């Protein structure tokens, strides 16, 4: 349940970008959220409006893009990884220690007013 902390950090990052662009307010923002990032999208959606009150993001629409996990199997190359099955190739069961994608917690895009 650290989504409120994540929402506050997100607002901080957005405010920096607004300042860089000389913008007063954000209308909408898109966040890329990996399935392996340990952040629950519903909880982030719930926390965001409350954390945004009184900031330049008040009333802004939050869009969340889920990023599925992809690992690298020594035999099968890039393969999809299901969080519930662990870091093993779904084809052959070999360990795939490195995550090619799926741990994202990124501010992707911002619509400025």
Partner 1 sequence: MTTTPRIVTVRQNILKANDHTAAENRQTFEAAGVRAINLVSSPGAGKTALLECTLRNLSAQVRMAVAVGDLATENDAARLRQWGAQAEQIVTGTICHLDAAMVQNVLEKFSLNDLDVLFLENVGNLVCPSSFDLGEAARAVLISTTEGEDKPLKYPTIFNTADVVVITKMDIAEAVGFDLALCRENIDRACPGVPILELSSRQGTGLDKWFAFVRRQMEVAR
Site string for partner 1, 6-35 (x = CB under 8 A): x--xx-xx---x---x-x---x---x----
Residues 57-86 interacting with partner 1 (rule: CB under 8 A): 83-86
Pick one of 59, 68, 74, 95: the residue that binds partner 1 (CB under 8 A): 95
Please classify residue 22 by burial: count the beta carbons closer than 10 Å to its beta carbon, then call 0-12 exposed, 13-18 middle and 19+ buried: exposed
Nearest Cα neighbor of 40 from 82, 79, 7, 85 is 7
Q: For helices 3-20 and 41-52, what crossing angle results, to 10°?
A: 60
Binding site for partner 1 (CB under 8 A): 1-2, 5-6, 9-10, 12-13, 17, 21, 23, 27, 31, 36-39, 83-88, 95-97, 99, 103, 105-113
């Amino acid at each position: 349940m650290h989504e409120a902390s994540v929402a506050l950090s997100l607002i901080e990052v957005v405010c920096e970008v607004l300042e860089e662009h000389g913008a007063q307010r954000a209308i909408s923002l898109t966040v890329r959220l990996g399935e392996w990032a340990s952040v629950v999208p519903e909880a982030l959606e719930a926390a965001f409006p409350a954390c945004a009150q009184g900031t330049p993001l008040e009333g802004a629409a939050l869009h969340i893009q889920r990023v599925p996990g992809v690992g690298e199997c020594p035999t099968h190359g890039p393969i999809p990884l299901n969080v519930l099955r662990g870091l093993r190739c779904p084809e052959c069961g070999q360990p795939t220690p490195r995550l090619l994608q799926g741990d994202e917690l990124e501010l992707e895009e911002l619509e400025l007013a």
